[in-house]
Structure 1
Amino acid sequence: MRDLVYPPVIAFARTAFKVLDLKVRITGAENVPRTGGALIALNHVSYVDFILGGYGALPSKRLVRFMAKEVLFRNRYSGPLMRGMHHIPVDRDAGAASYKQALEHLAAGEVVGVFPEATISRSFELKEFKSGTVRMAAEAGVPIIPMILWGTQRMLTKDHPRDFSRHRPISISIGAPITVTQDDDATEETANLRSTMAKMLDETIQAYPDQPATAWWLPAAYGGSAPTPEEAERLDREELARRAAKRQEPKNH
């Protein structure tokens, strides 16, 4: 697969990280295989998780093909970049096509990135996981690489203004590969994956520097003022209701 767009995007991102003096700390980079297909499963707390998640695979010289909302591919600015980097558009009304494309990438020895929560977590804790990650890895015969991002929510996330302040610490924790097979129970293995990533998230939060009490970006369970998972779920439902109502509004001609 020819990559004419990805390398300059990486170079731009590295320059931006340097300008912002981001303190990116990657642990477990050796867990990303240097060859062959693999599925990276990431938590989702920010709109920039694609960028930092891909950065976490660079020590292994791998380019990650992320499964992302189809709307990003139709945007006049992000669309050419998403297509040029061979990311995978996800249309929730036609999910089979994106699933098939991801399997083709994995069969070709590519690394695919997926967010099992599907959407950004407003509580910054893990939401419920969809089983597609486990089912895809089992069908493709590739390992799942769990990855936790932390600190990205301070830059750009839901319900808060963007903040690209300098000197910000970013943590990327990468866990040991997880093997699943088609004989395994997808529901049970999805729960195991979530449990593994929850433990990794806790360890990453505990080790993260610069955590003032009651910070808005710190989960309520850790003393922060972020919404609890229950409050976050209510906010998600309200957001979906607003979107549905907007779709029903008559269009002006």
Structure 2
Amino acid sequence: MAELVYPPVIGAARTMFKALDLRFDIKGTEHVPQQGGAVLVSNHIGYLDFVFCGLTARPAKRLVRFMAKESVFRHKVSGPLMRAMKHIPVDRAAGLDAYRHALSALRSGEVVGVFPEATISSSFTLKNFKSGAARLAQEAGVPLVPMALWGTQRLWTKGHKRDLGRSHIPVTIRVGEPVPTDPAESADSLTERVRGRVQELLESAQRAYPVRTEGAHDTWWIPAHLGGTAPAPAEAGAAGC
């Protein structure tokens, strides 16, 4: 079936990125498979992360079907777009339907995008991963593709005002080699392996980020362990973030 909505939305996103004059540093897009199913796994630090994750699949000419909370699909603007782009609604009270939907997409050769932390990390550090992405990949017999985003929290994230002006904000993205799945391995073990790989990619993205933080006044987006003023993981966890 022809994709009538997704390509124009991608075009609109690229126009927006150009208008904002975002400074992209993206490496590893060659690791996104050019064909066949795969689960794209990323950290989650901002509301626009799915757009940036999807961007990494464009060199392979792939469209990513993201799993997103069901409330997004009820919104009068985003809902019709999400459905037309064949993203997958997740009702946390009845997650089996979403799981089956994603499994069917993977078996038909689609790329499915998952944020295993299940919510934005307000500490901008990596939270614990849910095991659903690993279980999906194992049951579908497809690889997990780890990736990490950095800088996207500066555009729009939980608890902070949007900055969608022409701000020249750098966005650094790293995509890692696919992680093959083995049905004999436990989903928890696979989840921890993939989380470790995402952590490595995140640290690589942070090291490459061009903004110096020493002496900076605007440090809310920088994790506490890197000298910023973002809440520490324990503090963010106590606040439900």
Percent identity at matched positions?
54
1:236 is aligned, of 230, 235, 240, to 240
Q: CA deviation at 1:167?
A: 1.2
Q: How does 1:76-225 map to 2 (within 5 A)?
A: 76-165=76-165, 166-213=167-214, 215-225=219-229
Match of 1:247 in 2: none
Match of 1:240 in 2: none
Q: CA deviation at 1:5?
A: 0.5
Q: CA RMSD in A?
A: 1.0
- Matched AA of 2:104: E
| Higher Rg of the two aligned structures | 1
CA distance in 2, matches of 1:66, 1:184: 25
Q: CA deviation at 1:206?
A: 1.1
Q: How many residues align?
A: 237
1:216–1:226 contact (8 Å) kept in structure 2? yes
- Matched AA of 2:52: L
CA distance in 1, matches of 2:198, 2:108: 27
CA distance in 1, matches of 2:220, 2:182: 40
- Matched AA of 2:111: V
CA distance in 1, matches of 2:191, 2:35: 25
- Matched AA of 1:185: S
TM-score by length of 2: 0.96
TM-score by length of 1: 0.91
Q: CA deviation at 1:25?
A: 1.5
CA distance in 2, matches of 1:211, 1:50: 26
Q: How does 1:16-35 map to 2 (within 5 A)?
A: 16-35=16-35
SS in 2 for 1:35: coil
CA distance in 2, matches of 1:172, 1:61: 18
**Runs of 4+ with deviation above 3 angstroms:** none
1:43–1:126 contact (8 Å) kept in structure 2? yes
5+ residue gaps, structure 1, are 238-253
CA distance in 2, matches of 1:49, 1:80: 19
Q: Provide Cα deviations, 1:163-206, integer angstroms capped at 9, x if missing partner.
A: 12421110111000001122111111111111111111111101
1:226 equivalent in alignment to 2:230: yes
1:5 equivalent in alignment to 2:5: yes
CA distance in 2, matches of 1:65, 1:117: 17
1:139–1:181 contact (8 Å) kept in structure 2? no
CA distance in 2, matches of 1:128, 1:88: 22
SS in 2 for 1:194: helix
